[in-house]
Amino acid sequence: TAEEEEALQVGVQRYGAGKWKNILRDPELQPKLISRSNIDLKVLLPPLFLY
């Protein structure tokens, strides 16, 4: 969803690409990414930066 994509972008800005578990553990981002795994984030990230 758009909310998940936004949360992922914020997480990458805070922790860096590849720090998927840190992003998922962030108390602000966790509720928005609750249904995602660290592998999901890794797969979702590249298309976000094509735009």
Per-domain residue ranges of the chain: 2-48
Q: pLDDT at position 51, please?
A: 46
Q: pLDDT at position 48, please?
A: 65
Q: How far apart are CA 24 and CA 15, in angstroms?
A: 11
Q: Indicate whether this model's pTM tops 0.85.
A: no
Q: pLDDT at position 11, please?
A: 95
Tokens at residue 17, please?
Answer: 């690409």
Segments of the chain with pLDDT less than 50: 51
